[in-house]
């Protein structure tokens, strides 16, 4: 029997007196799955170290300047603990390798979202219909409506590649996944790693600095010691309920995704959303000091 659920959240306090040991423990825990991924992908420590140095310098130069003063290599060296020579060598944005993964991700995601929520492409029960390639209310129409002037064939090929759609016998295209979650292609999955984990860390950092006045929602629920036989049922339940919630939130965001008024074109705009993820880990033994809240 388990003692109960754990509703885990980062304290909504603006506390700058974070203990070094607490920060180190958090970083070590964060780095374990990251290092596992890097080793599996064949990245040696030297390559990771170079990337970490470059990002330390980039953040120091772009986000930690003194009021009224320009960014300086000397200040970046002091903040990062690197030598001024290293800062000078690594300052500047990383080279552009021409990767268009983010563009493809956004384009495909818009089409899938439109297919799910646009009633013109759903059956009377509200389920996405299999679509012909061309013609009225076809896949080409869907792409034009929700992804601009991108060629429908390019979008179809991308969605087929990641396993989000399939072609049925009569030439129609059928939706397989309601969201852009690549079933194959490591590059696409690594793009999601970079964007989603970055968003979570940004939220935690925001809650440390501004959580007392402008908290962002960040919670998880878990139990220790659930029987392994229950995993499949929870996977199905969490996927179903999470997808339903995301679709409701997507509908709200779509309703509010309106252009600025013509007389106020400079009004500020933001990237806004919510992320949900599931996790599971086999237990070899129960923690000796397990508590109700972590």
pLDDT tens profile 73-105: 999 999 999 999 999 999 876 655 555 555 666
Radius of gyration of the chain (CA): 23
Q: Tell me the β-bridge partners of 7.
A: 221
Average pLDDT on 120-137 reads 89
pLDDT value at residue 289:
41
Average pLDDT on 268-286 reads 86
Q: How far apart are CA 147 and CA 150, in angstroms?
A: 6
Q: Of 25, 98, 82, give the one whose Cα is nearest residue 49.
A: 82
Q: How far apart are CA 71 and CA 76, in angstroms?
A: 8
Average pLDDT on 243-266 reads 89
The CATH code that applies to domain 101-175 is 1.10.10
List the chain domain ranges: 1-10+195-294, 101-175
Q: Tell me the β-bridge partners of 167.
A: 173
Burial 15-41, CB ≥16 within 10 A → b, else e: eeeeeeeeeeeeeeeeeeeeeeeeeee
pLDDT greater than 50 at residue 118: yes
pLDDT value at residue 290:
44
Give me the residue label for tokens 């965001």.
253
Average pLDDT on 152-164 reads 85
pLDDT value at residue 14:
43
Continuous segment of H or E residues that includes residue 55: helix 45-63
pLDDT greater than 90 at residue 109: no
Average pLDDT on 144-159 reads 85
Q: Hey, how many other C-beta atoms are within 10 angstroms of the C-beta on 205?
A: 12
73, 90 Cβ separation under 8 angstroms = no
* The two structure tokens encoding residue 133: 């390639």
Q: Binning pLDDT at 50, 70 and 90, where does residue 192 land?
A: confident
Q: What is the DSSP string of 68-137?
A: TS---HHHHHHHH---HHHHHHH-SPPPP----HHHHHHHHHHHHHHHHH-GGGB-TTSPBPPB-SSSTT
Burial 143-173, CB ≥16 within 10 A → b, else e: bebbbeebebeebbebbebbebbeeeeeeeb
Q: Hey, how many other C-beta atoms are within 10 angstroms of the C-beta on 255?
A: 8
pLDDT greater than 60 at residue 48: yes
pLDDT greater than 50 at residue 292: no
Q: What percent of the chain has pLDDT over 70?
A: 82
pTM exceeds 0.85: no
> Worst-scoring range by mean pLDDT, 42-46, 60-64, 105-109, 173-177?
105-109
């Amino acid at each position: 029997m388990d003692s109960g659920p754990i509703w885990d959240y980062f304290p909504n306090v603006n506390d700058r007196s974070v203990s070094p040991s607490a920060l180190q423990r958090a970083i070590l825990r964060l780095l374990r799955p990251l290092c596992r991924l890097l080793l599996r992908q064949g990245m040696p420590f030297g390559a990771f170290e170079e990337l970490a140095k470059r990002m330390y310098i980039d953040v120091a130069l772009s986000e930690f300047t003194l009021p009224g003063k320009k960014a300086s290599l000397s200040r970046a060296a002091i903040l990062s603990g690197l030598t001024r020579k290293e800062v000078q060598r690594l300052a500047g944005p990383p080279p552009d390798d021409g990767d268009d993964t983010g563009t493809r991700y956004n384009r495909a995601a818009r089409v899938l979202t439109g297919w799910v929520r646009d009633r013109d492409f759903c059956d009377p029960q509200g389920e996405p219909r299999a679509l012909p390639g061309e013609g009225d209310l076809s896949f080409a129409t869907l792409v034009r409506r929700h992804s601009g002037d991108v060629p429908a064939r390019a979008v179809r090929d991308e969605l087929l590649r990641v396993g989000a759609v399939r072609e049925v016998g009569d030439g129609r295209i059928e939706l397989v996944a309601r969201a852009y979650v690549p079933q194959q292609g490591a590059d696409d999955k690594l793009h999601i790693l970079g964007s989603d984990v970055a968003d979570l860390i940004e939220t935690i950092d925001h809650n440390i600095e501004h959580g007392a006045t402008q908290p962002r929602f960040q919670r998880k629920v878990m139990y220790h010691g659930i029987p392994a036989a229950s995993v499949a049922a929870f996977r199905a339940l969490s996927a179903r309920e999470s997808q339903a919630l995301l679709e409701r939130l997507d509908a709200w965001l779509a309703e509010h995704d309106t252009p600025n008024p013509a007389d106020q074109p400079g009004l500020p705009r933001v990237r806004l959303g919510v992320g949900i993820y599931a996790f599971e880990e086999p237990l070899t033994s129960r923690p000796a000091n397990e508590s109700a809240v972590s």
